Amino acid sequence: MLFVLFSSCASEDIFPSIGTNLSNPVSIAIDSAANRAYLVNSNSKVFYETGSLQILDISTPAAPVLLNTVEMPNFSGQAYLSGGYLYLTNRLSSNNSDTSDSLLRINIDEASASFLTIDAYAASSNPFGIAYDAVSANLYVATLGDQLDYYPIASPSRSSVALAPLNLSDGTAVTDVDIREVVIIGRQAFATRPRDGLLVIDLDENNVDYYISDIFSPRGIATDGVNLFVASVDTSTTALTNHLYVINPASLTALAGNATATRIDKDDSGLVVADVSVGTDLQEVAVSTNYIFVSNMGADSVSVINRADYSKGSDITVGDEPFGMNVYPAGAETHLYVTNIQSNSVSIIDIATLAVAATY
């Protein structure tokens, strides 16, 4: 994470307002029913005073129309839409010793008198990934502070699952349990640990049941409600290889009252359904009815994997340093939106032709 310290000078004296500019767009949330896309400008390289959220009309998917922009703190991450609000993780800290960051809640109800009002709630250090559990009605936020935060969506106030030290069944302990992203299937959360490993967390007992230790440097994770799709860079050898692992977690049943997490190998119990080689410096994963998409930041491309047999098609060249992705409309996808961090753009891919139809 990048921190900028200011002394006697106000930030507006150094950096201009972001206005309607794109600056390191990191994620894009989509409301298919309203034909709206919410583009998060993280401004992680600090070109402007703040980051921003842009609201786009995507009624014509390949020709987004900018409706509104609201400025907000730099260093935002993933977003979740619910009940007229956009919930957004934010990593802005005033100095390197801060251990508390924010979950932002932005009113996106265009008929509301408080449209685009931003509320902030305390989060653990460096939050990024976000997921919703419909059973508990909690938002779960992955953080690099050894915590999985969770918030009642009706009235956000933070509680946390402490992840470190993570005592394992083989007698060892993991002392650094930073997590980047999280998805939920049933009563389990699955969180990627950038240093290595995938955590399986029991949401009823709020503890870690399993630690899949040999998924190296996992980044993005997505699910179709049955399988997990995990982007991983294998750092166990000098020749870095990039993988999309398709994992079926059905055998990872809840462990009631366990004091330790069971350490397992990804090849145990038939967990890995498929292992697909993809591009360079892969990052995020998005799922449509027919395809799995992986953003390759190092190759300026998106890999396309067929869900029917997990075969890989040709990569699609997009902008510079692609990162976040989302599909539109939900359930009958015609387009994939890809945020390009370095080129400050969004590539819009026609899913029928698997080609870039436009660039925003």
**Position 268 in a domain:** yes
Q: Is the dihedral of CA 206, 211, 217, 219 positive or negative?
A: negative
Rg (CA), the chain: 20
Note the pLDDT of residue 95.
Answer: 59
Q: What are phi and psi of 359, to 5 degrees?
A: -130, 130
Secondary structure of residue 131 in the 3-state scheme = strand
**Position 4 in a domain:** no
Query: How many CB atoms within 10 Å of residue 134?
Result: 8
Measuring CA to CA, how many Å separate 75 from each of 23, 119, 126?
Answer: 11, 16, 9
- Provide the residue range defining the domain that includes 294: 107-359
**Position 190 in a domain:** yes
Indicate which CATH number applies to the domain containing 306: 2.130.10.10
Give the pLDDT confidence of 210-239 residue by residue, as tens digits: 999 999 999 999 999 999 999 999 887 777
Measuring CA to CA, how many Å separate 47 from each of 51, 68, 255, 332?
Answer: 9, 20, 48, 37
* Number of residues in the chain: 360
Rounded Cα distance, 150 and 345, in Å: 32
**Position 77 in a domain:** no
pTM score, whole prediction: 0.94
Q: How many domains does the chain contain in total?
A: 1
Q: Between vectors from CA 243 to CA 241 and to CA 246, what angle results, nearest 5°? A: 160
**Position 303 in a domain:** yes
Note the pLDDT of residue 96.
Answer: 63
**Position 34 in a domain:** no
Evaluate whether 336 touches 287 at the Cβ level (below 8 Å).
no
**Position 80 in a domain:** no
Rounded Cα distance, 120 and 105, in Å: 6
pLDDT in tens, the chain (360 residues): 333 333 333 445 678 999 999 999 999 999 999 999 999 999 999 999 999 999 999 999 999 999 999 999 999 999 999 999 999 999 997 656 666 799 999 999 999 999 999 999 999 999 999 999 999 999 999 999 999 999 999 999 999 999 999 999 999 999 999 999 999 999 999 999 999 999 999 999 999 999 999 999 999 999 999 999 999 998 877 778 999 999 999 999 999 999 999 999 998 878 999 999 999 999 999 999 999 999 999 999 999 999 999 999 999 999 999 999 999 999 999 999 999 999 999 999 999 999 999 999
Find where tokens 């703040």 sit. Answer: 50
Q: How far apart are the first and last CA of the chain?
A: 26
Q: Between vectors from CA 281 to CA 277 and to CA 285, what angle results, nearest 5°? A: 70
- For 321, the token pair is 């340093």
Query: How many CB atoms within 10 Å of residue 176?
Result: 13
Q: What are phi and psi of 303, to 5 degrees?
A: -85, 145
Rounded Cα distance, 353 and 139, in Å: 35
**Position 3 in a domain:** no
Q: Between vectors from CA 287 to CA 24 and to CA 67, what angle results, nearest 5°? A: 45
Kind plus residue range of the DSSP H or E element containing 38: strand 36-41
Is the link from the previous residue into 165 a cis peptide, with omega within 30 of 0?
A: yes
